[in-house]
Amino acid sequence: MDIDKTTLADLLMFKSGEEISVFGKLDMCSTSHGSEQLRINFSTPLMTQDEIVAIQQTLQLIIKKINQWPLQITNGTVMVVEKFFDSQISLIPPHPSALEAYSYKLLHGPDFALVNYSAKHCFDFIKGFQYLLQLFSTENLPNPLKKVLSAIESIIKKNQLAFVKKYNNSDELSNTQVLEFAHFIRYVYKHNMLDLVVLYAQIDAWYGMARAVEKHGLIFPVFVQNDDPIIEVTGLYHLLVQQPVAYDVVLNKKTNFLFLTGANMAGKSTFIKSVGASVFLAHIGMGVPAQQMNLTLFDGLLSNINVVDNITKGESYFYNEVQRIKATITKISDGKKWLILIDELFKGTNIQDAMKCSTTVIEGLLKMKKSLFILSTHLYEIGAELKMYPNIGFKYFETSVINEQLYFSYHLKDGISNDRLGYLILKREGVVSMLEKM
């Protein structure tokens, strides 16, 4: 799936300023390297259905084993392993006798303490991998997991590491064994250990994803084969909303354009981001926040939500809106499957201009049957003339007014909103009374 940084930012995938993010919510990795790899996974959605299904299967298998997960490899262990190779210490004897081990400890006390501490963490590191291989030894492994575990197995199957299986923990090792093990790790096995750090980062990224799926009750979407794009989802909600209201969404060839209306704060932006985030998460093999979801593989996802002006270049808000739409049209003219999300199109110009520009853009986009569109707007008036197009659907978020107080249900309804609540909000917030008293 093709996705740009603007869309990732619009969908709150990564933290920006004080905002929380979807990534932050789902990052349950046990190591910092795992989190870094997870960020890479989030930045590079997969391109084929087979790749996505393989990651889903990997996460499902890890969830099955999650209560048996080896806990020897921690973030602290990985940090000690890496720092061991950079530390300045006296030469460690390769095959020390008991006397040589005693002498090293006596003559190089601080060095021995560091070696002993590091070697025991290296022991735990290798022990963790041995348990990991044993955990999956009887399973039919998905290709991504199989590839990583095979690489791990080829690295740790060394004669010098066989003794690790004989001991439950590193405290059972003698000083002689500690020094001999440390010598092998530091002088012979360095590159192998660093390779294992990289391999575990990917394992930990999947582990973090699996934990998040289980903790948040996410479901794995089903990808369907179809010449035209499809999104069918029930019980969809946004991960970052504390008390979410669920939506049901159907977009397909028959209705590939959703015209969304409603007052400010009624839920339009959250809805758009919910759909976008779920489709994106589906394309990295992640579970999604919904009861059920079927969709086709999308070639790309683009948004037009948080457009800003550019003072340094002298570019207005409206100009950048136009440029974003232009870039979007250029990309989706390739006839491939795209999901396009547009929130409040043409906010940067007067209402008459905005209505004419919006109608022109919408009518043009309606010709593109290979993509799905969700567009929200305050320009309710343009909806009437768009009803002549058979492939556009109309949904709105209703707002109730009781004793001049606003109540938002956040439920999606059929039709076009007729709410006009700007003045009421101005009055409710005390702005009108403040102005009257001036």
Three-class SS state of 117: helix
Whether 394 contacts 414, CB under 8 Å: yes
Strands 371-376 and 257-262 come out as parallel
Three-class SS state of 235: strand
Is pLDDT at 425 greater than 70 in this prediction?
no
Number of helices and strands in the chain (H, E): 16, 11
Residue showing tokens 């006296």: 90
Q: What pLDDT is attached to residue 421?
A: 61
Residue showing tokens 């003219």: 333
Domain extent listing, the chain: 16-216, 222-436
Write out pLDDT tens, residues 73-125: 999 999 999 999 999 999 999 999 999 999 999 999 999 999 999 999 999 99
Q: Taking the model in full, what pTM does it have?
A: 0.91
Q: CA–CA separation, 65 vs 125, rounded Å?
A: 19
Looking at residue 315, its amino acid is E
Report which of 250, 287, 245, 291 is spatially closest to residue 268, judged by C-alpha positions. Answer: 245
Q: Which tokens go with 45?
A: 């959605």
Please work out, in degrees rounded to the nearest 5, the angle formed at the alpha carbon of residue 426 by the alpha carbons of 421 and 431: 170
Q: Which tokens go with 403?
A: 């004793």
Mean pLDDT (whole number) for 154-177: 90
- Name residue 406's beta-bridge partners: 401
Looking at residue 83, its amino acid is K
Write out pLDDT tens, residues 177-227: 999 999 999 999 999 999 999 999 999 999 999 999 999 999 999 999 999
| pLDDT band for position 411 (cuts 50, 70, 90) | confident
Architecture field, domain 222-436:
3-Layer(aba) Sandwich (3.40)
Looking at residue 7, its amino acid is T
Q: What pLDDT is attached to residue 311?
A: 40
Q: What pLDDT is attached to residue 399?
A: 80
For domain 16-216, give its CATH number from 1.10.1420, 1.10.10, 3.40.630, 2.20.28: 1.10.1420
Q: What pLDDT is attached to residue 350?
A: 80
Mean pLDDT (whole number) for 36-56: 96
Task: Round the CA-based radius of gyration of the chain to a whole number and report it.
Answer: 28
Whether 362 contacts 375, CB under 8 Å: yes
Element housing 153 (H / E): helix 143-156
Q: What pLDDT is attached to residue 320?
A: 83
Whether 305 contacts 341, CB under 8 Å: yes
